[in-house]
Structure 1
Amino acid sequence: MQLAEIIRKKSAQYLDEVIAIRRHIHMHPELSFREHETSAFVKKRLEEYGLDCKTVAGTGLLATITGKAGRSSKCIALRAELDALPVTEKNDLPWRSLVPGVMHACGHDVHASCLIGAARIIKELEDEFTGTVHLLFQPGEETLPGGAKKLLEEKVFGNNQPSVVIAQHVLPELGAGETGIRPGVYMASGDEIYITVSGKGGHGATPDKTVDTVAAMSHVVVALQQVSSRFAPPHIPTVLSFGKFIANGATNVIPGEVIIEGTFRTMDEEWRAEAHEIINRIAVNIATSLGASCSVEIRKGYPVLYNDPGMTSLMGSYMKEYLGSRKVKDLQIRMTTEDFAWFAREYPAVFYRLGTGMPDRLLHSPEFDIDEQIMLEGTGLPAWLALSFLLQ
């Protein structure tokens, strides 16, 4: 029996168990860097399958499988995340979240469960390959600076450095059992923007005796739209959005302080740095011209996610062998962010998508869900990619 067929058979054999694992993790979500119970549950499962685990970055796990068919320095890493989001689930399912205000709304429960299943398959086939597979269960993907950065700072892989790091992530826009891939720049960098405008507050009926912080901040918000429409190079995708505007005055009270919070996304690191300076300059100058003072804080988030073209092409060819060409789609760039980008700065990396089969259940929404049958591909495909790479 050929390797692909063996993996497909094992994936089908373990599907019900992988789904049960997913449901358990889904029912007990934990926020970033607090994934203590999730980590303990994953570790117990992996140890049941004969894997040794070590704790990394506080609540993460690293398991390593070395092939027994001979000696080889080849090494590949597979990564999944453990953390959930501060979202209240609205799905009425037996396995809905039991934690108020916390939900696996980004599919990390799916990613972790599929990687557990893939680990089991790879472990059972360790006599068939040479080389090493790292299985990395990462904490804190959803919170800056990101668990990936902490893992790299800890030198998580030690002396056994991978030639490529792979990550699988669900995507509602793709059909059930489909995968998506894109070489080169795929996802944006993301930075958090915090701007405070201050001035003398007072009675709304005597604005001449105050500094109108609301009007000043309104001008700042409008002026900052020029960053993406006039300052950004036309060939570089750029988004600057503000989702929070706090002016705690009243119908007849001009507040002494107004705060806005937003996000800046782009696909070019050089322009990203330049844009930060422009945002600061526009905000300060506009506010000052209207008699107010202004402070700008920009918290740098995840970098641009870059898929190594050569490795992406190679993994794409493996995907087509396993799934068939029609199920492997070309992806468009996305302005969302992903801390896997930190790995992509250090290693050749491939971040690919797995369709959920539920296009109306969007990521980060309280209704997010998947067709659990996709976990058949979600379990088998990572195992196939890892072993295909080591056996090539």
Structure 2
Amino acid sequence: MKTVHTAKQVAIFSCYKTGGGTPFDSFWYSREAGEEQGVLMETYYTGDLWKGLRAIAGAERVIFDGYSSIAWLKGWALISFALLRRVPVAVYWHETDWYFKNWPLNRKPTQYKPLPTFLKYRSHLMPIHWLVHNKRTVHFHVCDYGKRMMHGKFGYPDERIHMLKNLTGAYQQVLDLPLGAKTVPYRVVGLSKVDQRKRPDLFMQVAKYVVERKPEAEFHFIGRFTNPPHDQNTVEQQVKDMGLEGKLHFVGEQRPPFPLLESAQVFLHTAEDDPSPKVVMEALGLGKYIASFAVGGIPEIYPDADGLVPFGEVEQLGEKVLAGFDKMEKEQQTARREYFATHYTPEAFAKRFREAIDWWDDLNK
């Protein structure tokens, strides 16, 4: 018999406009599945103050999607209004150490620098510190690591933090691609922005280690270049200096990335910190062997992954890549895809979200 759920209405705010699922990935793509679970979602843009205020005035619950939904545009005013009206408020965190350490919002008011330096961080960050740390705001986090970090390192009340794993908006594209049909032997692919947090320098070092031991190997890094030293010219010069021309290719942003990603034998991720990267989920759904540093929430994405090593251990990670070339049997690829299909689709997220809403409501009784 089909379970009948009591309807729960949620207003969701982001600093990005809706459309195309960015960055409402988990909420945007699971709206229909959410209705099956009795969760009715409406999304709003924090740049539209008056529409947001009207939405909050009639809302049963309000969620702010990520730190940027509070710190940018009119998010600080909207969360203030929601708390003043005593509407139940939650923040859905997608951030772990990197952002928390570098984000002024997590400093205590006594730690703020005096003007004018403080103006760089927006004058409303001091009240926001109270808004997110007060005892009535609840918190969802995409990974258990982040949940423990928020409580242990930054003092958020543990009893008001709930884990809510996200999903990838590309779930259908991933599931529509045949497993292993276009795999190129000894090809390794990475996918992320070229910046300090994603550590392209370590990607290069792993590539050098592997190529020295398996000359047939080739590496491709998909992702847009950023500011120096992560601009295209600097990165390409570094590749030359390491003697990896013709073996390591930084190909820039590709949309969609799947033609190259599905050709990989191994997916390599060298980020210094990452809460729950969708690219790792997508590689899992494509049946790829995942070699990565065990940082943030990455170990939680696929508990059976054996390609994870401590951060910075380049040689260990290189050995995992070499081992991954021999771990592409059909049954292994199928197991990875099946895990993806049961955990990172809208239906799976909608069930988790309903459980999170019920937990939230129980707190407010």
Q: What is the TM-score normalised by the length of structure 2? A: 0.30
Looking at secondary structure, tell me which structure has more strand per residue. Answer: 1
Normalising by structure 1, report the TM-score.
Answer: 0.28
**Greater Rg by CA:** 1
**Highest RCO, 1 vs 2 (Cα 8 Å, sep ≥ 6):** 1
